[in-house]
Structure 1
Amino acid sequence: MTEEFKVTMLGHRGVGKTSILTAMYEQFDETFKDTNLQLTPDPESSALLQERVGQLKALLDDFEATGGLEGDENPRSFYFDLGKVGAKPSMKLVFQDFPGGYINNNPKFVENAMEECVAVLIAIDAPALMEAGGKWNDLMNRPKQICNFFQRSYGNLQEPKLVIFVPIRCEKYLQNDEDAKKLLRCIKSEYEQLFNFFKSEKLLTKIACVITPVQTVGTVFFSSIKPETIDGKVQPHFYFRKMSHDAGYTPKDSDQPLRYLLSFLLQLHHGKKWGKFNFIRQLFNLDKYLLESARKSAIKCKTSGGFDIVQGKDKLFMDK
């Protein structure tokens, strides 16, 4: 039986969860080209994600672009088999995506998803965080509400977890080291309550936490915000512009969340026994090729230029 690892995508409506997963999918071949591993989606996941890749690329059709993709109205699970090229898969990765409105309308579903997964990926809308003094951050990114979900779901944590903060639409904020440092400072400031929760005595030894920016298009930069009134409520509309009229689709760093996930699983293999994840040691021992391939991928995890291991480096395989 192929072992299964679940990753939950977490974020409010419109922050870009679907865009992250799509960009990751589009870069799978590039991520594993040096390892001879293949990550193969099931037919339904493949068809939907290929359609979403086309939509991401279509953002470049107009000089003034939208910021990302529309999310689904229903929860979806995307299934991927991971293993050696041409061989039987060694493991299955499942990315669980759900409508952003669920954090308001179906919180129990979200909490259950968080409890059963090995990793949580938190999508962060970077312009909402960075622009207008962070005026729209609480509305779009909901940092306190996100923290409350972790407080309820991780209150009696027994197994290790990986939490990946993924700012997207962040092309403007990664042009130089100073801008990248400012992005990190803002994330750590706005999510301070959540980071402090992770650092608590009960959780410090169980949670690895990293920040991995993803440029889902690469050539579309934030331009302006125009508030609009929708159903009597003021909502921000974010506008973006291509860096040039002939700019192409060049996503950057969409491989990093997956590399960190493999790094986390690899370190679980090397570390002490962890409850229901004990089988990871056996899995890697039985498949030496998977062990070496995961190692090759993990050593390419970035730790500078906007990337940071906030805590739990000992829970990540960082052989550098």
Structure 2
Amino acid sequence: MGTDRAIRGATPVVGNVLLVAVVIVIGVVLVTLSFSFLEGTGAPSAEASFEYEQTPVGLEMTATAIGTDVTVQLNGRPVATIEAGDAGESVIVPTAPGDRITVVSRDREKSVLVDRTIDDREEVGDFIAYYTFEAGSGDALLDRSNNDNNASLKGDKTGWTGNSYDFTGNDYFEVTKLNAPVYEVSEFTFAVTYKTDSGTAKQELAEHISGSDNWGVEIKPCENWNSCDGDKTDTHNPNFFADESGGSQSGQIFGGPEPVGQKQVVVGTYNGSTTEIYIDGEPKATDSFNSEISMGDFFIGTDAESSGNRDNFDGEIYEIRLYYTAFDDQQVRVLTEAME
């Protein structure tokens, strides 16, 4: 009898031990499953923090803490990378109103560490005008810089593609009196992403005119210019000029030869004494030039000094940016990467 009581007395103790063991096992399984679930769904694995400062080309991001390799994206497109531990490193992002900056870890989790929408004037570059050719329809091309430099479409009005305007040779855009957010403009940067269908005739990508002040970017046939070497039949010669209206274009500089039918970015910049032209981020030519700069009428796809039916552009334009500040080599490269 005593033995039976001892056995019965021990049974609850054994049962409690077994119950605890089962609970521990279940807990371990649940924790393991939880870690596996988080790992598979991209749970944040590091931290990153940044300080932001406005520059002429856009926001400068400086990493104040960085625990993993990251990619900085602008509207979903990679524009820069920062390595783990590189606190203090800065990158420039060519931001415009409505843009979205994200910072994504480069490990397999791809965690989003920063997600920021640009909606403040102090977070964008020194814009005069910004055209993406996506927001236009019918007779209007919208200026995304918020400076109200909307362009009116003249001519055929049939070239909207969804992400560009395909010029037929009988259409162009016009802005009457560009508005700039500064009282006086003494330097500027003009950038255009385009693809030409022909290199056999002079074509105007964009041109500005105000009294005797004239500047723009145009295409000239390679066959007319010694700066183009080799086969000239399928090439063209982009040039950036700033001079007096109707003048000799003494300030023009050439970037060619460039292939016909290839999408590319041309940037022209003027700092008050020097003009420079870049093709796809690479410097091509520079020249000394001294002239006052004003903001007058602006034409896209045609000659500003004609009635709108001379030297019209034949091809597609995807994007145009105009700033009231001159850019250096690094800023041009950053801008080009965003516009490619």
Instruction: Give the TM-score of the pair, scaled to structure 1.
Output: 0.29
Work out which structure has the larger RCO, using CA pairs closer than 8 Å and 6 or more positions apart in sequence: 1
TM value normalised by structure 2:
0.28
Larger helix proportion of the pair: 1
